[in-house]
């Protein structure tokens, strides 16, 4: 760690007054987790499942780029692993260097991103070190979390819903200088206030997954779930699923959560979800073979849902993709909605369209969240109405190991990564609010410790 970085870390840990941060030296380099262009072909013809993020992710020093007028340097105390970290580190379905290359062609500032290394990570909590001269709402010393919607707001297509912007990107996935580093570069319109009852790592894990689930469940841009609606949530103790369950509960709905082990079923019940389906124990086999699905298995899932809640679900929160989409389209109620943001198990999907059109169902795509949605989702975390789902914490040097954990579906909820924070548990300022919700804040961590 350089002297400049050590001084920044000490100032944060020792709660230096905000004014001091403006005079701290900006380091010329920082350490970060990255993949390298020269490694893009390292996995040859290996299947996605057999590609190991531990081989591709390196932690190394990189030069900090010049700051654009609408950007900020953020000293990153903690970050987290998202599934996009897995996609980047296995170079699938495409190498993310193709994104950086395209961004590099857009503008003078875009060119900075097109490098032979990609500093990854789409979440961060930390402290603002410097802001560009066009930044109005943030200043050095502000304690922040970062949301990953990277949009040029001078583009007319970014107004209305910025997720429709023609140059919308996910920071740290489709841009360089992501959050898994000691210092990160973000646009000012990615910054949000840090929830002060949470530690740095508890604050860092929410941005990407919590905002995605907010849009999918709560926002009118997603399902716009109503009181009394029931929602089938695949992967209900996973990264996005565990926030989705909380939003369904908060909105007066009934979550039906699907998981794949007794431990996860217990955790889901502890989260307050009573309708639980253990897909392993039930032995669902939606695909008879590589090419053919089994509608009898869809029917069996539908019956299971009716046995738990007495009716079909209004909404299906879909993301596993190829393995489950046939079943998801089948089990949604007549007139129901299947909302999807991903396809972890494969993106060439197949479903029986007769169930969609004859029963007037809707299949809707959804992707991350606009700044307003991310802000509202962060506010709910800050008010203690939605809670982080962090189950494990890794160091920056262990980023590859952490990504491997997510790739292999080995952990629940979210995995935190300490970047500048020397230990867990630092950064809490609102002890009273923390105390009020401590059981929920630490739920996933306690379950992980028990296993």
Residue 369 neighbours by CB under 8 Å, 6+ apart: 147, 149, 163, 211, 212, 214, 215, 219, 377
Number of residues engaging ligand NAP in binding (CB under 6 A): 30
To ligand NAP, the closest distance from the beta carbon of 1 in angstroms equals: 30
Binding string, residues 355-394; x marks residues near ligand NAP by CB under 6 A: ------------xx--------------------------
The angle formed by the CA atoms of residues 221, 226 and 232, to the nearest 5 degrees, is 85
Interacting residues with ligand NAP between 111 and 150 (CB under 6 A): none
Q: Which two tokens stand for residue 339?
A: 């909302």
**What is the smallest separation between the CB atom of 234 and ligand NAP, expressed in angstroms?**
5
Residue with Cβ nearer ligand NAP (67 or 265): 265
Mark residues 319-338: x for contact with ligand NAP by CB under 6 A, - for none: xx--xx--------------
C-alpha angle 281/287/291, rounded to 5°?
A: 165
The DSSP output letter for 25 is: P
Tell me the two tokens of residue 118.
């990609």
Q: How far is the CB of 178 from ligand NAP (least distance, A)?
A: 15
CB 384 within 8 A of CB 40: no
Which of 76, 77, 259, 313 lies at the binding interface for ligand NAP (CB under 6 A)? 259
Regarding 169 and contact with ligand NAP (CB under 6 A), the answer is no
Span of 33-41, 43-51, 112-120, 252-260 interacting with ligand NAP by CB under 6 A: 252-260
Quote the least distance from Cβ 130 to ligand NAP, whole Å.
Answer: 29
* Core vs surface per residue 361-387: b (16+ CB within 10 A) or e: bebeebbbbbbebbbbbbebbbebebb
Rounded to whole angstroms, the Cα distance separating 308 from 374 reads: 32
Determine which residue in the list 83, 173, 177, 317 makes contact with ligand NAP, applying CB under 6 A.
83
How far is C-alpha 399 from the geometric centre of its chain's CA atoms?
15
Segment contacting ligand NAP by CB under 6 A, of 109-117, 236-244, 380-388, 442-450: 236-244
The helix (H) or strand (E) run that includes residue 128 is strand 124-131
Q: Minimum Å distance from CB 273 to ligand NAP?
A: 13
Q: How many CA atoms lie within 13 A of 401 on its CB side?
A: 9
| Among 51, 150, 264, 434, interactor with ligand NAP by CB under 6 A | 264
Least separation in angstroms between residue 212's CB and ligand NAP is 4
Distance CA 342, CA 58 (A): 26
Least CB distance to ligand NAP at residue 56 (A):
17
Contact track, ligand NAP, 400-429, x by CB under 6 A: ------x--x--------------------
Residues 300-319 vs ligand NAP: string with x where CB under 6 A? -------------------x
CA distance 110 to 406: 30
Rounded distance, CA 261 to CA 264, Å? Answer: 5
- Give 3-state DSSP helix, strand, coil % of the chain, rounded to 5: 35, 20, 40
Q: Does the protein bind ligand NAP through residue 240 (CB under 6 A)?
A: yes
Shortest Å distance, C-beta 295 to ligand NAP: 17
Closer residue to ligand NAP, CB minimum distance, 177 or 234: 234
Nearer to ligand NAP, 101 or 260 (CB): 260
Rounded Cα distance, 305 and 302, in Å: 5
Closest CA to 259 of 274, 281, 229, 287: 281
User: Whole-number minimum distance, CB 408 to ligand NAP, in Å?
Assistant: 9
- Phi first, then psi: what are they for 132, rounded to 5°? -70, 165
Rounded to an integer, what distance in angstroms lies between the CA atom of residue 154 and that of residue 268? 43
Work out whether 180 is an interface residue with ligand NAP (CB under 6 A). no
b/e sequence 121-131, b meaning 16+ C-beta within 10 Å: bbbbbbbbbbb
Encoded one letter per residue, x for contact with ligand NAP by CB under 6 A and - for no contact, window 4-43 reads: ----------------------------------------
Nearest to 180 by CA among 208, 140, 210: 208
Kindly list the residues in this chain that would bind ligand NAP in the complex (CB under 6 A). Answer: 82-84, 208-209, 212, 234-235, 237-241, 258-260, 264, 279, 319-320, 323-324, 341-342, 344-345, 367-368, 406, 409
């Amino acid at each position: 760690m350089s002297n400049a970085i050590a001084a920044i870390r000490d100032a944060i840990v020792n709660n230096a007054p905000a004014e001091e941060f403006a005079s701290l030296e900006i380091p010329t380099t920082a350490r970060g987790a990255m993949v390298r262009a020269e490694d893009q072909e390292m996995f040859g013809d290996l299947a996605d499942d057999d590609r190991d993020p531990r081989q591709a992710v390196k932690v190394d020093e990189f030069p900090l780029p010049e700051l654009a007028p609408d950007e900020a340097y953020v000293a990153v105390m903690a970050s987290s692993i998202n599934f996009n970290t897995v996609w980047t580190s296995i170079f699938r379905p495409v190498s993310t260097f193709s994104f950086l290359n395209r961004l590099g062609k857009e503008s003078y500032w875009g060119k900075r991103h097109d490098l032979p290394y990609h500093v990854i990570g789409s979440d961060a909590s930390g402290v603002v070190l410097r802001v560009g001269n066009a930044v109005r709402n943030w200043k050095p010393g502000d304690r922040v979390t970062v949301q990953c919607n990277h949009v040029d707001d001078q583009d007319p297509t970014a107004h209305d819903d910025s997720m429709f912007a023609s140059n919308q990107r996910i920071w740290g996935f489709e841009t360089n200088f992501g959050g898994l580093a000691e210092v990160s570069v973000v646009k000012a319109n990615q910054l949000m206030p840090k929830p002060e009852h949470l530690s740095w790592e508890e604050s860092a894990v929410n941005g990407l997954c919590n905002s995605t689930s907010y849009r999918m469940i709560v926002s009118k841009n997603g399902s716009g779930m109503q009181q009394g609606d029931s929602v089938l949530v695949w992967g209900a103790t996973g990264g996005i699923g565990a926030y989705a369950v909380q939003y369904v509960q908060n909105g007066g709905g009934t979550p039906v959560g699907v998981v794949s082990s007794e431990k996860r079923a217990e955790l889901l019940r502890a989260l307050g979800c009573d309708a639980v389906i253990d897909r392993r124990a039930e032995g669902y086999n939606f695909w008879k073979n590589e090419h053919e699905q089994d509608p009898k298995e869809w029917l069996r899932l539908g019956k299971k849902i009716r046995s738990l809640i007495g009716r079909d679900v209004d909404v299906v929160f879909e993301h596993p993709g190829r393995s489950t989409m046939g079943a998801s389209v089948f089990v949604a109620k007549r007139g129901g909605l299947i909302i999807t943001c991903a396809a972890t198990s494969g993106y060439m999907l197949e479903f029986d369209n007769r169930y969609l059109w004859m029963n007037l169902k809707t299949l809707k795509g959804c992707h991350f969240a606009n700044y307003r949605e991310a802000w509202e989702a962060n506010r709910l975390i800050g008010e203690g109405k939605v809670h982080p789902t962090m189950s494990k914490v890794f160091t920056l040097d262990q980023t590859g190991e952490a990504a491997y954990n997510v790739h292999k579906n080995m952990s629940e909820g979210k995995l935190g990564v300490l970047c500048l924070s020397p230990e867990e548990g630092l950064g809490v300022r609102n002890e009273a609010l923390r105390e009020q919700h401590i059981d929920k804040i630490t739920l996933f961590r306690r379950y992980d410790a028990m296993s």
